[in-house]
Amino acid sequence: MDDPGALVLIPTLIVFALAIVTHRPIESLVTGSLVGLIMIHGTGFIGGFAETSVRVMTDSDVAWVILVCGFMGSLIGILIRTGSTLSFTSLMSSYVRSEKSALMATWGLGILMFVDDYLNSLAVGSAMRSLTDKFRVSREKLAYVVDSTAAPISVIIPFSTWGVFFSGLIVANGIAPDGQGFATYISAIPYMLYAWVAVLMVPLVISGALPAIGPMKAAEDRAKTTGDMVPPDAAHIEAANRSIVPNPDVKPRVSMFVVPMTVLVLATLYFNKDFLVGIYITLGGTAIFILATRMLTMNDTFDTIVDGFKMMIEPLGVLVAAFILKDVNDVLGLAPYVVTTMQPLLTPESLPAVIFASMALVSFMTGSNWGVFVIVLPIVTALANNLGADMVLVIGATLSASTFGSHACFYSDATVLTAQASGCTPFQHAITQIPYAVIAAAIAVIGYLLIAYL
């Protein structure tokens, strides 16, 4: 299609409509993608679907995500099988005496796992499920707390995979000279308003100063009155999470949880913030230690590694379907369309707020928090230069928008992985979290307007 105009919105709107009706992300994403492919290829859409699928599956970023998530599942499986996750939870139980302290411990642990949002989502959710269950915390509320320290923490603590990626992007777009991308990124951190608000809202929600709203209130009422922490339609996720059980012949050790998690963080930081290298080192080292100490047999060890990878198949399916939709939207030109549509509203003062609002919408609709900005950042940079706007403030607004998309969209990577680790479906997690995300986004918009006009 030469100039589809507003029609570029149709595939994503179909995805959201189907998701609301069916609560099923994969079917919704595939249907929306097929509609987009029909718009692009007409009657040849099946061939287009095949080409798009191959292009997505052979993309290095998609391969990275599959390997990271799969082998993180393997590491979690090993920690469960050796009883170390249970041992860590038991240790935490000796210090945690209430629902509020359990959730605050979850929040604190999430901050410590700042190096990558995937690590945060998967490790913290898996570690804290059974502890929060003791105090009848709904899995949806656990997922909210976990997700609010995933992307938001990774973006405001620069020694993370987010910091490395976006620092490189800043240099690649000529915003900063070679060697200055990281410094420019750090200077924008105070202006990443959405991330700050999202993180700081969590203690308010935990304390009750900001009460449960809408679907979250219903989820909490269900957990408190019936004792059903796992929401309806999430039994299959709970079954997958419980498919690996501790080996009764192994003495649980807290160190077997703490040491691998510490090694994972340090190895990732050491090897240029490459989370995949960190996982390989941690999983390999843990497996060697287990075999050397005869904690598990070789068969048990490697069966658990495979079973842990298999545990991640469903969320990986959702992520691959989301990547296919993103590819379709890239071809249709969704991101440039939204940006150009917002251009009449732009002044030097309004640019940060408008950029945040429009890019948050794009990131939310595409479920992409990194890839979409490879496309739109050159446009945003040109707009800022033409208007003479504060570039650091614009960078902060752009990264805030990226964080919103990761945090709020029901098929974004962080949402999907957090839901899996916490024990609810991506839609259940997203629908209960969205009121808090919208509140944080509204505060961010007001903040950008105040900074600009005061």
Q: What is the pLDDT of residues 18-69, one digit of tens each?
A: 988 888 888 999 999 999 999 999 999 999 999 999 999 998 888 988 999 8
Q: What is the reported pLDDT for 2?
A: 62
**98 neighbors 395 (Cβ within 8 angstroms):** no
Task: For residue 430, give the nearest of 364, 366, 383 by alpha carbon.
Answer: 364
Separation of alpha carbons 115 and 124, rounded Å: 13
Q: Tens of pLDDT along 354-413?
A: 889 888 888 888 776 666 667 777 778 878 888 888 888 988 998 898 889 888 888 888
**48 neighbors 41 (Cβ within 8 angstroms):** yes
Q: Is 247 a domain residue?
A: yes
Q: Output the six-digit token pair for 338.
A: 């939204």
Task: Enter the pTM of the model.
Answer: 0.88
Task: For residue 234, give the nearest of 421, 425, 416 by alpha carbon.
Answer: 425
Q: Is 201 a domain residue?
A: no
Crossing angle of helices 193-207/391-408, nearest 10°? 40
Q: What is the reported pLDDT for 283?
A: 96
Residues 6+ apart with CB under 8 A from 426: 25, 315, 318, 410, 411, 415, 416, 419
Q: Is 390 a domain residue?
A: no
**405 neighbors 366 (Cβ within 8 angstroms):** yes
Q: Is 108 a domain residue?
A: yes
Q: Is 249 a domain residue?
A: yes
Measured CA angle at 17 (ends 16, 19), to 5 deg: 65
Q: Supply the range of the domain harboring residue 130.
A: 61-158+234-313
Number of domains in the chain: 1
CA atoms within 13 A on the CB side of 437: 30
Q: Please give the single-letter amino acid code of residue 347.
A: T
> Which tops the pLDDT comparison, 71 or 115?
71
Q: Is 136 a domain residue?
A: yes
Host H or E run for residue 82: none
- Pick from 45-49, 157-161, 285-289: least confident: 157-161
- pLDDT higher than threshold 90 for residue 225: yes
Task: For residue 102, give the nearest of 59, 131, 66, 123 by alpha carbon.
Answer: 131
Neighbouring CB atoms inside 10 A of 290's CB total 21
Q: Is 301 a domain residue?
A: yes
Q: Is 27 a domain residue?
A: no
Q: Output the six-digit token pair for 15.
A: 């995805």
Q: Tens of pLDDT along 111-124?
A: 988 888 888 888 89
How many Å is the Cα radius of gyration of the chain? 22
Residues 6+ apart with CB under 8 A from 163: 154, 155, 157, 182, 185, 273
